[in-house]
Amino acid sequence: MLSRRTIEAYLFFLLRHRALVSLVVAAITVYLALFMWFRMHVFTNFFDLYPRNHPYIQLYQQYRSMFGTANTVLIVVEVKNGTIFDDPETVQKVDRITLALLHDIPGVNGEQVLSITHPKVKTTLTAGSGIKVVPLMYPRVPESKDDLDFLKLKVYSTEGVHGLFVSEDDKATQIIAGFWEEYFDLPTMWVKIQEIVRRESDENTKIYVTGIPILFAYFMEIMPQMTGVLGASIVMILLILWVE
């Protein structure tokens, strides 16, 4: 243990040469900050956010390949005036967004992408030969008012579509996409989602996105501002200590 005389001598040295000591500490801090800035890689592994030893998480990891992941993004396409059954362009937007999610975003679970234009969403039709199960968009994505009327009939007559994929007032429809945690690229996903929103939004169409990945993406986007606030806070604390 250091003697009291040694400690006092050390403190007196710091006080007598406080400007030089402050410069040395600042230089070391800047060097370490630059070193970490260029060498440190920040990424999000969603599995690290789960309590791995919890029985619910173990059960989820065992069966997620069968029933889909919990890492989901919801996209809602809403029209300001009228309903989604008034203009074929609205449903065509949904189809383009669905295809973009399937083909343009890495880590997506193709089995977990669902929308009214995806072939996995089925309906039943009666014909002379009997009953057949076909995609809700059968025979094609709407191109005319008659196509929209036929689609509306199928939406209303198919259980589990109206009220889930299409809102009760027919003004909005949702698209669901799941992502594999181990292949998920958060920065790329966020850039692609923003591109989709900008491309498909117009005067009568608003697009909303939500989900846990979107929350983390927002945190990632404001990280530079958070770093600036943290730096300013450190400077203020040092100034207060210096003045006192």
What are the tens digits of pLDDT across the range 35-70? 877 776 655 666 677 788 889 888 888 888 888 888
Asked whether residue 12 is assigned to any structural domain, the reply reads no
In a domain, 33, yes or no: no
Q: What's the pLDDT at 43?
A: 59
Task: Report the pLDDT value the prediction gives residue 178, as an integer from 0 to 100.
Answer: 93
Q: What is the pLDDT of residue 219?
A: 83
In the beta sheet, which residues pair with residue 99?
none
Q: Do residues 118 and 111 touch, judged by C-beta distance below 8 A?
A: no
Mean pLDDT, the chain, rounded, equals 88
pTM of the model: 0.75
Torsion of CA 182, 188, 189, 194, to 10 degrees: 170
Number of compact structural domains in the chain: 1
How does DSSP classify residue 163? T
How much is the pLDDT for 109?
Answer: 92
What percent of the chain is modeled with pLDDT above 70? 95
Report pLDDT for 155: 95
Answer whether residue 21 is part of any domain. Answer: no
242 within domain boundaries: no
Structure tokens at 232: 């300013």
Asked, for residue 227, whether it belongs to a domain, the answer is no
160 conformational bin, left if phi > 0, alpha if psi -120 to 50, beta if neither: left
Residue type, 73: V
Q: What pLDDT sits at residue 116?
A: 96
Query: Does residue 168 lie within any of the structural domains?
Result: yes
Residue 50: inside a domain, yes or no? Answer: yes
**For residue 48, which phi and psi values (nearest 5 degrees)?**
-70, -15
Q: How far is CA 237 from CA 178, 231, 232, 240, in A?
A: 44, 10, 9, 5
Residue numbers of the domain that contains 95:
46-209
Q: Which residues lie below 8 Å from residue 118, measured CB to CB, with a gap of 6+?
A: 98, 135
The separation between the first and the last C-alpha atoms of the chain, rounded to the nearest angstrom, is 29
Per-residue pLDDT band for 1 (boundaries 50, 70, 90) equals: low
Residue 90, in any domain of the structure? yes
List the alpha helices (DSSP H) in the chain: 4-16, 18-39, 55-67, 88-104, 145-157, 186-200, 212-221, 223-243
Q: Which residue has the higher pLDDT, 209 or 221?
A: 209
Show Cβ contacts of residue 180 under 8 Å, excluding neighbours closer than 6 positions: 69, 71, 107, 108, 109
Question: If you ran DSSP here, which 8-state letter would residue 62 be given?
Answer: H
Under 8 Å between Cβ of 147 and 85:
no
Tokens, residue 97: 């967004």
